[in-house]
Structure 1
Amino acid sequence: MSYSGYSLNGGVHPCLPFYERMLQCAKSEALPIKMCTAQTEDYLECHHRKKQYALNYAIKKELNNIRIVALPRYDEENDTFVPFSQATADHIFQ
């Protein structure tokens, strides 16, 4: 594998320590494919950020669900709907 370790702006790439650990493990083990899976997974996660993107998607989805649950409440005096920020289930379903 060839890896320069430099980012586009000329500094050190943030994944360089993970790559160096993976490379050191691969050089020291007789069966690097089986023995260095944790280091390889750490490097690939740093490089591709699949778990981070999945976590961000789950958080955005949950926040969207909270916004959907935050229904406006009906104001009987003015005959209008008033936005209800941060509504709880007790307020909505009373």
Structure 2
Amino acid sequence: MASGYGMYGGVGRCFPFWQEVLGCYVANTSGDDPSGKKKCALALEDYYECLHHKKEHARAVALQEAYNRRGHSAPRDDAPTANQIRNLGLLGKEEDTKKVLGTP
């Protein structure tokens, strides 16, 4: 809240951001020339993000979508078989080891 008081008393979560916005406005604007407000856009954006968490939510949604896409992707075509993996490092099974590790 812009009042500075949090929900349960004390300093509010976003009050420091609000103070930064007000300080920027005081330093960059005057009654005659309000064009200095453009310099405060980043501070105002930080304050809105603190209030609404829109960017944080968008990142979480994008991460979840990427995770879901990754889970539904097709398996590798050249993936080793279970039998080749079981034979790793065994004597007489050097060909399987070379196929799995990709060494000549």
What TM-score, normalized by structure 1, do the two folds share? 0.65
Higher strand share: 1
Aligned residue number for residue 67 of structure 1: 71
Once the 2 structures are TM-superposed, how far is the Cα of residue 23 of structure 1 from its aligned partner?
A: 0.4
Aligned residue number for residue 21 of structure 1: 20
Separation in structure 1 between the aligned mates of residue 24 and residue 43 of structure 2, nearest angstrom: 8
Once the 2 structures are TM-superposed, how far is the Cα of residue 15 of structure 1 from its aligned partner?
A: 1.1
What RMSD in Å do the two structures reach over aligned CA positions? 2.0
Once the 2 structures are TM-superposed, how far is the Cα of residue 10 of structure 1 from its aligned partner?
A: 2.4
Structure 1 unaligned regions, length at least 5: 72-88
1:49 aligns with 2:48: no
Report runs of 4+ in structure 1 exceeding 4 Å deviation.
none
SS of equivalent to 1:36: helix
Separation in structure 1 between the aligned mates of residue 44 and residue 8 of structure 2, nearest angstrom: 25
Which amino acid in 1 is paired with 2:61?
A: Y
Separation in structure 1 between the aligned mates of residue 36 and residue 47 of structure 2, nearest angstrom: 14
Identity of aligned residues (%): 33
Larger radius of gyration: 2
Higher helix share: 2
Which amino acid in 1 is paired with 2:23?
A: Q
Aligned residue number for residue 4 of structure 1: 3
Structure 2 unaligned regions, length at least 5: 30-34, 79-104
